[in-house]
Structure 1
Amino acid sequence: MNKQFSVPKPIYPWETLQSPFAGAFYEEENNWYDQDYQFLSKEAMARYRKMRLVDVGPYMVPAATEKDRVLHATRFAIYMTVTDDYAELLPIKEIAAFRDRIFDVMMGDDPRPEEKGIFRQMQINRKEWIALGMPDFWLERIAKNYKYRFVTDGIMEESPYKISKGIPPIPLFHLIRANSIGMIPFVDLICPSTGFALPDEIYKHTVIQRIIMLQSIIVALQNDFATIGKELAIESEIFNIIKLLQHHNKIPFDEACKEGMRIHDELVNEFVTLSNHLPDFSPYQKETEEFIYYIKQMISGLNNWYYKSGTKRYEPGGFAVPPNGKGETIDRVEIKYF
């Protein structure tokens, strides 16, 4: 490492809670890997065990004070991450088949004994959500968001660019990344964490949908800053706002960081403004405000996970290389955060 880049950390204008469950689920995590993730290579399995993905749930739903209302989110965070890592460079037809089977299981179909264990994790998650009081309309909502927003509009739109090393325009990049980051279905997890399934007429309201989209783009940009060291070392990885701004605007790295953070902060300001001016959602105004509060905690909580959890996911040799990927092919640049 003979170069060093200085990279800013995002900051948020609200207080972030600390979950009592951070670091509490490592035994469960190891059991899940041992039982249901054996389709991964031994090297990938070893790397996942160092990522502390199981702490994503506690960091992102820190207001939840009951174990079961956090554990379901930790399970989801792991199989969502594995879905992305495993599928991102597969042929589109294979991703589509994987996606369709995921949807069937999330909608209640039983995994077959010979299928990948990840489907059992999804089946267990569905049972957890039902036990936490989630109705059929919510179960269908998260299944559709996983299938269409995360996989179809996200992973499947992003994958051809990664394979061809194509360069998307920045407006399209924001939309694809908002989906591929997986936060649209992750926001759905607020409902089993609070015990209240937000009704469709509120969830589909223009303001709520814009807030959810803003959260997803903000988290995607947040991820770009946290992972830039890894992504500079992967030749096929262009889906990062800093790298794209350098390419499209012909500017040096530090200027791209400043511009990327300006875009991030502008979106945060819009998010806060809309959050402070919600429509009247009576008789569920209190529940809707709690939903927005949980979204805020998701944004800043995940930011804390990147820098405070001890994850090895973005360190050299820490990322699980997808089946058709080459991993890091360029020497690492040292990243100093400020």
Structure 2
Amino acid sequence: MKTSLTDEEFYAGLLQLPKPTYPFTNFIHPDFEKLRQEYYNWIDTEYIIHSKEAREKHKKHHLCDIAARGCPFLHAIDELLPLANYTANGAMMDDYFDKCSHEKMHSVMNSAYALLTGDDPNEPKENGILHLFWVLRQDALKVEFPKHLYKRFISSVRDTIKGFAEEKIYYRTNSIPPLAVYLLNREGTSGVLPYCDYAAMQKDYRQLPDEIFDHLYIKRYRTLCCLIIAIHNDIISLPKELHREGDTLNLVKVLKQEYGISIHEAYMKALELHNDYLNEFLLLQNHLPPFDGWDNMVLAYIQDLGVMISGIYAWHTHDTSRYVNGGYVEGEYTNGGG
């Protein structure tokens, strides 16, 4: 991205357009400031692969706040650490490997998953991305993380990284996918699937049996959460992605290409699609099927998925560093383009 853009050029008349709104209350975990200290330490000790400039930008982004806002009802900071680790490491990893190959991202995914499952029990000798995944597993083992929920969580983490790999195909060729391809892939790359799993660590939701999470209604809620958050992320990040080659997995860009319309028209169409998904989220709450005695807890879990959506959006609206003019971290991975 060119850093010489004026703010007027950067925002391209987008600031006055309407933004997403939610009927859900948003919260933040009371230990969010302690969590930030852990986050700064990760950047200083694990992210030495990044330049000093990149590390200082990441610190300002407070990516750990996404976890603190997305799952604000976790009991203590110990329960927040695995989610914050996934969030910060995932985002910074995606930044770092911005234009690496599809094959390289798959290799990272396989190595990370082996560490998360314990199939590779060995602590990586060097600090960095993979070491943080090893740390995530150690922190998860320290808290009462039910095996069935942990298995779901790390499977979703794997799907997220797999989505990152699929994105590289479009990033490296600076090409925009069709809408159907975007919607399919963005469910994974939103990074929200692991949050839907981790939200069950709050309150008493960890008591819910596996068949509840496998229910078609809950699966649809997972998809809706992913797409709602993906779209509001695309809306927030659009000014940056309009001026940066390779940032092609943005719904507004996709809709512009799909329908041959202007950026502002595509923006409004993206917001309309976002609102359709949000209305479906709200409608389904009033038409839930019976859940064999778990009805009240399932409804409460769904309501807290709404809190998660609102909380993550609150991070976006409170952020004044990541998606602003010159605030984004450029990919620094180089290995012959691989």
Q: TM-score range by the shorter chain?
A: 0.7 to 0.9
Which residue number in structure 1 is paired with residue 178 of structure 2?
169
Instruction: Output one character per residue of 1:183-220: Cα deviation in whole Å (capped at 9) or x when no partner.
Output: 11122111233354343211111110011001101111
Which residue of the partner structure matches residue 133 of structure 2?
122
Q: Relative to structure 2, which stretch is displaced further, 269-278 or 1-10?
A: 1-10
Shift of 1:116: 4.2
CA distance 1:260–1:87, change in 2 (3 Å): same
Asked if residue 315 in structure 1 is aligned to residue 338 in structure 2, the reply is no
CA distance in 2, matches of 1:258, 1:165: 24
Q: Could you tell me how far apart the structure 2 residues matched to 1:195 and 1:41 are?
A: 42
Instruction: Tell me which residue corresponds to 1:33.
Output: 43
Using the TM superposition, give the Cα deviation of residue 18 of structure 1 relative to its aligned residue in structure 2, in angstroms.
4.3
1:274 matched to 2:284? The reply is: yes
Output one character per residue of 1:68-111: Cα deviation in whole Å (capped at 9) or x when no partner: 33343222211121232233421122111110010011112334
2:16 is the alignment partner of 1:5: no
1:1-338 maps to which residues of 2 (within 5 A)?
Answer: 1=6, 2-3=8-9, 4-6=12-14, 7-64=17-74, 66-108=76-118, 109-147=120-158, 149-152=159-162, 154-194=163-203, 196-197=205-206, 198-308=208-318, 310-323=319-332
Distance 1:127 1:291 in 2: 27
Amino acid at match of 2:77: K
Give the superposition deviation at 1:303. 0.8
* Residues paired across the two proteins, number: 322
Distance of 2:308 and 2:92 partners within structure 1:
20
Structure 1 pair 126/285, CA: closer, same or farther in 2 (3 Å)?
farther
Q: Distance in 2 between matches of 1:46 and 1:195?
A: 38
TM-score normalised to the size of structure 1?
Answer: 0.88
Moved more, 34-43 or 216-225: 34-43
When residues 113 and 267 of structure 1 are mapped into structure 2, their CA distance, relative to the original with a 3 A threshold, is closer
User: Is the Cα contact below 8 Å between 1:211 and 1:275 reproduced in 2?
Assistant: no
1:236 alignment partner, SS class: coil
| Shift in Å, 1:55 | 1.1
- Are the structure 2 counterparts of residues 219 and 185 from structure 1 closer, same or farther at C-alpha, using a change threshold of 3 Å? same
Q: Secondary structure at the match of 1:5?
A: coil
CA distances 1:1-24 after superposition (whole Å, capped 9, x unpaired): 354413321001233234433444
Q: Structure 1 stretch 126-135 or stretch 43-52: which is displaced more? A: 126-135
Gaps of 5+ in 1: 326-338
| Shift in CA distance, 280/127, structure 1 to aligned 2, threshold 3 Å | farther
- SS of 1:139's partner is helix
